[in-house]
Structure 1
Amino acid sequence: MEGFSGVPEMDRYFDQHQIFTRFLKTGREFLRLNDLFLESIERGGSYTFDLSGPFIEQCRWDPELLESFRELSESNRVEFTGSCSYHSLSALYPDLSWFKEEVMSYREMLRELLGVNPETFVDTELLYTERVGSLLVDMGFRRLIAEGSRNILDGCDPVRVFENHLPILLRHINLSEDLELRFSETSWEGYPLIPEKFADWIASMEGDVLTLYLNYTSLCFHQRSKSTIADFIRAFPEALKSRGIEMITPSEAVSRFSPVKLPTLGTEQTIRYGMNNAVGNHAQQLYLRELVRVGEELAEIKSKPNYQKLKQVFGYLQQSEILFSMNAGNAREGSEKAVNYYSILSDLRRAILEEGA
């Protein structure tokens, strides 16, 4: 649509009906998975949940799902991590003020809805950049989980607690993706992946702690494909235990094992599937710069009546998925998405400038 005017509502840019309909479907799947994790916990499992801010906000639509996360928290074998409230890449902005505000807002949301105060931090899509480390320490975080990419590990294996400003656990990419991506692939050489086989792979490794991190929606996909993922989750803790391996939380890992210095943590940055996937092309870099500019202009109208409404819309336009969509396998599709989002951001900027005037 052309010729927008006035203060934009969320419905102008986002299909709220479609989002709500999709959530109602996946929410039921998440509810079943949460029950499954409770069964796994009774058998010795421990888990950590990194829930995006937009998803937690959507959970207000489904009190039963929200209560299931509270039950997990009350099991004392589950931790919830801190993150950015809009699932943004604000840690890459020149000024970290918005990043800090997002982290504080997310923490308050967890306190309100789940009654937890996170001390472990996971940035959006396991983003790691050294410059936020001291800030996180000042904000009360005691540990960090990030992507275990090659440039960060520099030849090491992600089987230790590492340290820079604070203790860091790095995701083991291959084993995580065995569960996340390959579990249901009948053509995969590791198929079928049963708990005993996976536990044997882990037992053959030398180290202190192994971090598995996977997307929750991938488990829903495996459920839909009629795989044995439910049986795997139930039996996995006992398969590990029989091999002398314990499932623990990030706080337990950091308290048990002495951290190892990793020099590259002070010089490199990384994100899930690589920085090139997030900000590797001109369209992504330009959109990121535009976000920074619009954010600066938004900060100048804090006293204006429509500031909070404009701020909310701006927040959702920062979601990492928007940047990732501009790097589609089909270059034309990625370009079309970029043009669409530039138009949206331009309209929001028009509204911010009019509000300031």
Structure 2
Amino acid sequence: MSRPRVLYTDPPWLVGDGRPDPALATVERDVLGPDVELVFGPHDGTKYLTTDAQMLERAAGIDVLVVYRTQVTEELLDAAGKGLRVVVRQGVGVDNLNAALLTERGLPAYNVPDYCVDEVSTHTAALALALERQVVPQHRTLVGGTFDIYAGGTPHRTNRRTLGIVGFGRIGRAVARRLGAFYSRVLVYDPYVGRDLAEGYGALAVDTLEELLAQSDLVTLHCPLTPETESLIDAAALRHMKPGAYLVNAARGKLVDPQGLYRALDGGWIAGAGLDVFSPENPHQDPRWHPVLAHPSVVVTSHRAFLSEEAEASSRRRVAELVRAALEGRTHGLVGRVTPPDSGR
């Protein structure tokens, strides 16, 4: 009897010295043991070939598919064949799982929804406070040879300002507790949670996004990417913000329209932005992001809000445990079920 096969399409932790090194899959082999064959996606020395024919070849006959940034497609599922039991996302977001397609095929899918709450809420606070205190223009000016306490402008007291949080899931709530301590008031917009929940975190729920944008001095995004939220923050939305307000996005790149954001920055509609996420993931691959990256009022990081040694270790182990549970038929009640909906039995 052949060993079950598990394909990890694009694991970043496997890349050492520029190329994937199967010897680095220590956590996975520890959890899954020698009776499971690990297969890894193709890599050209600079990146994983997530849409290449080689990926489809490696998917043939797998029992479990583990994706990181790879998009789940009909072609990938067809290549895997009828023996595919489950799809697992090594991360919080679910937009690349293609839930509708998986539901149509009756394939269960899981993610790891809570492994990096500490990291993302901390990173959000770092971006926010860097903007509020003009840390980046201060750094650039001083290392450039000029000592100037006013470089970047004169900040305001945050304890007289309002924080606005869009999306009040696990991370949004952590941000309310942590970053909210610096602000006089915290507003929340999330049409899918009750108003009383926000008050339990010292915040006040508002009825519309426009209301939150108009009242907030710093707006931070923590909602999932869905057809409803794609380009949620566009030029029209940014027009509702205060001229002295900041925008922070450490959620999903497609929540923000880059052209609308540049118009807002260039036109002085808002004071600045802190961004950890883009679409495409590498903003240098889309010229629409170039003027945003070059703007002096922007602070950017390379989609690493989730990252820490502890978070990566936890994610890897929990994904491997999900894979093991799926192979052993122990998936009922597991945290992270995405689709199809749990029957509740």
Q: TM-score range by the shorter chain?
A: under 0.3
TM-score, normalised via structure 1 length: 0.27
The structure that is strand-richer by fraction is 2
Higher relative contact order (CA 8 A, sep 6+): 1
